[in-house]
Amino acid sequence: MSTEQDLFTLPQRYLDVQAAARDLAADCSDIAARADESDSIDPDVRKRLAASRLAEIVVPAAYGGRFDRVDSLAVTVVREALGAECAHLDSMFAMQGIGSYGIGVGGSEKLKEEWLPKVARLDAIAALGLTEPGVGSDLKALTTTVVERDGKLIVNGHKSFITNGGDADFYSILGREGDGYSLVLVPADTPGLRTERPHQIIAPHVLSDVVLDNVEVPVDNRIGEPGKGFALVLATLATFRVSVAGAAVGLAQAALDEAVAHARTREGFGVTLARLGSVPEHLAKCWMDIEMARSLTYRAAAASARDARANLHLSSMAKVAATEIAASVVDRSVQVAGRFGLVRGGKLERLYREARPMRIYEGSTEVILDSLAKQLVRDAG
């Protein structure tokens, strides 16, 4: 029979990964603020992530990775540690997996052998291109096309808000092919592919648009069966969605740590802030919210590690709960810090900006709640 200890303590292999991620986060603390203001890959963050060998976690063991298959709980635990210190580092780690997962599941042996070991070593930077200027949540409305002609795939389209765009070595691009959608690996140096950076967001991010103008790649660059690419994208989301919750829990904890440090030492009206008015209640609620979010996140990540598709509802709940909680925790933490929480370049101000996009990407809160409600009602019938 399971004891409480078994149920609520991470097994040793996850504790090892967590300790390594905390070491890496600490190692990057001197460059985190700089990297988080950058719209291109920070070379020092890349070097330190490569040296840690943690990116091996997002690649299957047969192709230079750590575990037999990508383990959602390991990814989540790592992102919790990295997200507390440096969003740029967290994004670089996660995108190596998100941009390459389809290859590991559906790619030919040749594609796997060519790209996955480089992804694990950070010798190649990965990206996933789904979103288009006119298409976001309603992904099935995408307009990028894939056509097979004379032994080649011809890709035409415009992808928007692509993480690692401009710095990636390859893009996994989703386009329409016949009545379905295909995922195609396009190396960044393929003629006809160009990147543009029309947007930057409130928390700077390596982001660009990717324009594909009659791009030609070998047929073997189609990842999986023709017309079956959507299933690979869903498999990617199912495996990685819960890891956004991990990063959000890490961010929330970092914000609360800042607020507590401030409240313990600042005095007003004859007491420390930690004992003044509603401040103690703010702090206690933040702590409670983080513990709730972490519990759900670990449970969902463990379930996802067993069977990601069957437990997508739990990953989705964890993603919504943790990102919404991170937003409210960081907001309350800024409130506790008063004007010092607003200072540009301060850690709280940075966390405040970084929390916001998490509720929009990889399934916005509203879109996830809508599909959870559909599942709830369907399963009740």
Ligand X SMILES: Cc1cc2nc3c(=O)[nH]c(=O)nc-3n(C[C@H](O)[C@H](O)[C@H](O)COP(=O)(O)OP(=O)(O)OC[C@H]3O[C@@H](n4cnc5c(N)ncnc54)[C@H](O)[C@@H]3O)c2cc1C
In whole angstroms, how close is the CB of 312 to ligand X at the nearest point? 16
Pair of tokens at residue 101: 């997962």
- Return the residues of window 192-221 that contact ligand X according to CB under 6 A: 201, 205, 207
Closest to ligand X by CB, 279 vs 358, is 358
Distances (CA, A) of 253 to 41, 173, 182, 284, 289: 25, 35, 39, 12, 10
If one asks whether residue 243 binds ligand X (CB under 6 A), the answer comes out as: no
Sign of CA dihedral 49, 119, 157, 106: negative
Q: How far is the CB of 164 from ligand X (least distance, A)?
A: 7
As given in the structure block, the two tokens for residue 221 are: 């660059």
Query: Degrees (nearest 5) of the Cα angle 230, 73, 54?
Result: 95
Token pair of 108 as six digits:
């030919």
Residues 338 to 357 in contact with ligand X, rule: CB under 6 A: 357
Residue 291 has a CB neighbour count (10 Å cut-off) of 12
Determine the interface stretch with ligand X among 21-29, 104-112, 263-271, 358-366 (rule: CB under 6 A): 358-366
Nearer to ligand X by C-beta: 20 or 367?
A: 367
Name residues contacting ligand X, limited to 152-171 (CB under 6 A): 161-163
Binding segment for ligand X (CB under 6 A), chosen from 63-71, 125-133, 144-152, 323-331, is 125-133
How far is residue 91's CA from residue 164's CA, in Å, rounded to a whole number? 9
For the window 131-150, what string marks contact with ligand X as x by the rule CB under 6 A?
x----xx-------------
Min CB(171)–ligand X separation in Å: 9
Q: Which of 119, 128, 283, 321 binds ligand X (CB under 6 A)?
A: 128
Using CB atoms within 10 A of its CB, is residue 180 exposed (0-12), middle (13-18) or buried (19+)? middle
Q: For strand 267-268 and strand 222-223, is the pairing parallel, antiparallel, or unpaired? A: unpaired
Could you tell me which stretch among 16-24, 105-113, 122-130, 223-231 binds ligand X (CB under 6 A)?
Answer: 122-130
The SS3 of residue 207 is strand
Residue nearest to ligand X (CB): 136
Residue with structure tokens 């694990």? 120
Between residue 361 and residue 380, which ones bind ligand X under the rule CB under 6 A? 361, 364, 366-367, 370
Contacts to ligand X by CB under 6 A: 128-131, 136-137, 161-163, 201, 205, 207, 357, 360-361, 364, 366-367, 370
